[in-house]
Amino acid sequence: MTTADDLATELGAPAAAVRSVALSHLSLELGHLYMEDFAEGEARLRQHFDRVRPWAETAVSQTAQLVGRGRPRISTCFLIDDYFTRFSSPREVVTMLVAAAGQAGLTIDYVARESGCARAGDVDMARLVQEHLIDEPAEGANGRPATKVTGWLTNGERSPGTSAAAMAAPRRWRPPRQSAVRNHSIFVDVELWNERADGSRLWSCPFLAAVWQLQRLGLLRHHGKPVAEPVEATPETLPGEWEMMPPIVRLNPKAAPLRAYRTFTPLDSRFLPIELAVRTILGNVSVDPTAAAQVRERARGEGFALPEETVGRVGYAFL
CA–CA dist 247, 225 (Å, integer): 16
* Residue 253 CB neighbours (<10 A): 8
Domain boundaries, the chain: 24-124+206-272+286-318
Report pLDDT digits (tens) over 191-201: 999 988 888 89
* Residue 240 CB neighbours (<10 A): 11
On whether the CB atoms of residues 242 and 115 are closer than 8 A, the answer is yes
Helices (H) then strands (E): counts for the chain:
8, 13
Residue 246 pLDDT > 50: yes
Name 223's Cβ contacts closer than 8 Å, sequence gap at least 6.
5, 7, 16
CA–CA dist 206, 236 (Å, integer): 31
On whether the CB atoms of residues 23 and 257 are closer than 8 A, the answer is yes
**How far does CA 262 lie from the centroid of its chain?**
12
Report pLDDT digits (tens) over 33-61: 888 888 888 899 999 999 999 999 999 99
Residue 175 pLDDT > 50: yes
Report if pTM > 0.75: yes
Length of the chain, please? 319
Report pLDDT digits (tens) over 268-292: 999 999 999 999 999 999 999 999 9
In this structure, which amino acid lies at residue 44? R
Please tell me the least confidently modeled range out of 75-79, 143-147, 245-249. Answer: 143-147
Report pLDDT digits (tens) over 74-122: 999 999 999 998 889 999 999 999 999 999 999 999 999 999 999 999 9
